[in-house]
Structure 1
Amino acid sequence: MLWLHIIQYTGFFAQITNSLLVYLIITRAGKLFGSYRHVMCVFALYSLIYAWIEVATQPVMHIKGPIFIVYMDSPLKSQMWIGNEITCLYCGSFALVISLLAAQFFYRYVAMCRPGILRNLDGYKLILIFIPCLICFILWFAFVYWGMANTVEKQEFMKEELKFYYDEDSTNIPFIAPMYWSIGRNGEKIWKFWECMSSVGCVVIICVCFSTILYCAFNIYWSMKSAQSHMSAKTIELNHQLFITLTFQTLLPFVMMYSPVGLLIVLPIFEVYVGGIANFVGASLAVYPSLEPLIAIFCIKEFRKTVLCKYFGSADYKLQDV
């Protein structure tokens, strides 16, 4: 638990990296990125909020039989009246992170492949691109709050496990946990339909967001390839930088968010005993928000030049060599 919480507090470094990215977007993006800079800025600002929610929750994860549990281990865990809601908020926040990332890809797809409808996202209309993100958040929160609620049955099922591994009383800590089935008097499995459907709903959200990212990335790539002969060298370079940025922003969350959370949801169905190893998922989710902005900072030339120039000193550093 000590190492897990150290990693979670280290993830709070996201306050620095995302604040730096917001500063660069405001001071350096200008008209270079058009309205896309607002989409980037919203994602970075939300990552700042996510880091606070992460620290407020300090989630611990565990898998046993047909159940995986996410319980709060922050100093607020004794506040049962609000603890379960904060834990659900943490889970819903994950959905907002991945959907906002998909929104970035969708905007780039519209700008590159459907420029004719780009005017529909000008000005205040840009808010429309974030409506699906809010829907994903609300759905995930609802799935967790009602479909994975803290119940006496789950408390009893996890009582010995949590006491042995974490010295916690399952009746006195806030948690969410889907329990896919229970065992009847004759030893038969009694499937819990709504608990299973809640987990299916979460997996569907992950699949929809990641499929959106893959579809947009694929079309952006081919659009860039086919339109290079009609673009200026500066435009080609800028689009290339943004595509590289989005590519790494696809790979990183796939490794650190989509895959781990997907496994956390699916493994209990097959009764794969993971135990406390599931906390690698929590550690990965804690670190991700601090790493993601570094991709944009170092893949976009204007941002990279600004950061390296300030670090090395403008007198001794040649920007044209960056």
Structure 2
Amino acid sequence: MHWNHIVSKIQEISALISIFGNVSLIILIVTKSPRQLGSYKYLMIYISIFEILFSLIDVIIKPIIFSHGSTFICVSTNFALRKDIGIYLLSMFGGFFGSFMGLFALQFMYRYLVACESKTLKTFNDSRIILWMFLPLIFGLLYGLVVLFLFPPNATINHNIKSKMKEEYNWDIDEIAYIGPNLYQFSENGEFQMNFKSLIGILIVWTLVTISFVTVSIFAIKCYSKMHSQMDGSRTLNHLQHQLFYALLSQTLIPFILMHLPVSIIFFATLSNFDLGNSSSIAAISMAMFPALDPLPVILIIKNNRNAVADIVTTSTLTITRRKRIAKNSS
């Protein structure tokens, strides 16, 4: 229970930082963005909104991830929620996870189109940008449906994890909302069986992850090569495009380290029938931290945003110092 309390507090603090950071970033994008940013600012705002919503869902359901043998589950520890509502919210949580994979792939595609001045870029400058924005939603919808229909609570999971959950958290698995795959199970005759429903779900999830990873890798390499060739060909570099590219790289590394890597380790542990126990909830902490940290590269790397923040900090510091001096003199 002490561990659960720590995870819950980190989730709450991360949600507050995420909302503050992403709202601040949206304000900076709207008020301080240079004209050269073009329609990319809409994609950046789009991602910030997703991250705010992700943080809100995270702090509402307060998920704990628990791995035991060939089973891992994501539990909603907000027991004030009805069980069926908790399961739907957990599915939405998974859907947002999938949407982020599509969002980062879309960003790298856009950066490459800008670097090579492709004619396709025109489709981002009018109402057709809405069609592009639907791609991450498709990723998220598929991911959420997989979680809802292929990783639902079932009697096998309840049987396999009931005593361990009671031992670790003193929770009754039959009364809490959770989702998760169970790859291996035993029949009534004691024969070992593969749970193909969970296996299909994991294969679909890994297909989405692979598509995102391959897309990001290909367009990141192409974009870097294009910018590098422009650097060799002339010294008139577009510094903003370089700033955006490196900010995007940082924004991609953060979810890879804090989201994809921990979840992948848990998936492999499940496939290997390796028991991680409640230590697997480190993934719940890292996922909560992701939207809190993700706005920082855009704020710190892009010069306009960095200067705006520096001006605000300087002005605030001078104002506080002036008020202290006036208060001291008056006393």
- Alignment TM-score, normalising by the size of structure 2: 0.90
Given that residues 101 and 139 in structure 2 are in contact (C-alpha distance below 8 angstroms), is that contact kept between their aligned partners in structure 1?
A: no
Matched, 1:36 2:59: no
Given that residues 65 and 74 in structure 2 are in contact (C-alpha distance below 8 angstroms), is that contact kept between their aligned partners in structure 1?
A: yes
For 2:250 and 2:234, locate their aligned partners in 1 and report how far apart those are by CA, in whole Å. Answer: 24
For 2:315 and 2:266, locate their aligned partners in 1 and report how far apart those are by CA, in whole Å. Answer: 46
Paired position in structure 2 for 1:250? 252
CA change 1:241–1:16 in 2 (3 A) is same
Paired position in structure 2 for 1:50? 54
CA drift of 1:182 comes to 0.6
Q: How does 1:145-160 map to 2 (within 5 A)?
A: 145-160=148-163
For 1:67 and 1:114, locate their aligned partners in 2 and report how far apart those are by CA, in whole Å. Answer: 48
> SS of the counterpart of 2:172?
coil
Match among 69, 82, 89 for residue 92 of structure 2 = 89
CA change 1:315–1:268 in 2 (3 A) is closer
> SS of the counterpart of 1:76?
coil
1:91-110 CA-partner distances (Å, limit 9, x unpaired): 11111122212221111111
For 1:161 and 1:127, locate their aligned partners in 2 and report how far apart those are by CA, in whole Å. Answer: 47
1:207-240 CA-partner distances (Å, limit 9, x unpaired): 211221111111110000112356674x521121
Given that residues 228 and 236 in structure 1 are in contact (C-alpha distance below 8 angstroms), is that contact kept between their aligned partners in structure 2?
A: no
Given that residues 156 and 185 in structure 2 are in contact (C-alpha distance below 8 angstroms), is that contact kept between their aligned partners in structure 1?
A: no
- Alignment TM-score, normalising by the size of structure 1: 0.93
1:162-213 CA-partner distances (Å, limit 9, x unpaired): 1111111101001002111211355432111121110111122112112211
For 1:131 and 1:268, locate their aligned partners in 2 and report how far apart those are by CA, in whole Å. Answer: 32
- Between structure 1 and structure 2, the one with the greater Rg is 2
For 1:33 and 1:47, locate their aligned partners in 2 and report how far apart those are by CA, in whole Å. Answer: 21
For 2:46 and 2:234, locate their aligned partners in 1 and report how far apart those are by CA, in whole Å. Answer: 29
Matched, 1:178 2:191: no
Runs of 4+ in structure 1 displaced over 2 angstroms? 184-188, 228-233, 313-316
Aligned-pair identity (%): 25
Name the count of aligned residue pairs. 314
For 1:76 and 1:148, locate their aligned partners in 2 and report how far apart those are by CA, in whole Å. Answer: 22
Paired position in structure 2 for 1:222? 225
Q: How does 1:1-322 map to 2 (within 5 A)?
A: 1-12=4-15, 13-77=17-81, 79-113=82-116, 115-185=118-188, 187-228=190-231, 233=236, 235-313=237-315
Opposite residue 97 of structure 1, the aligned amino acid is: F
- Which stretch shifts more, 247-256 or 266-275? 247-256
For 2:185 and 2:137, locate their aligned partners in 1 and report how far apart those are by CA, in whole Å. Answer: 33
Opposite residue 262 of structure 1, the aligned amino acid is: S
Instruction: Name structure 1 gaps, 5 residues minimum.
Output: 317-322
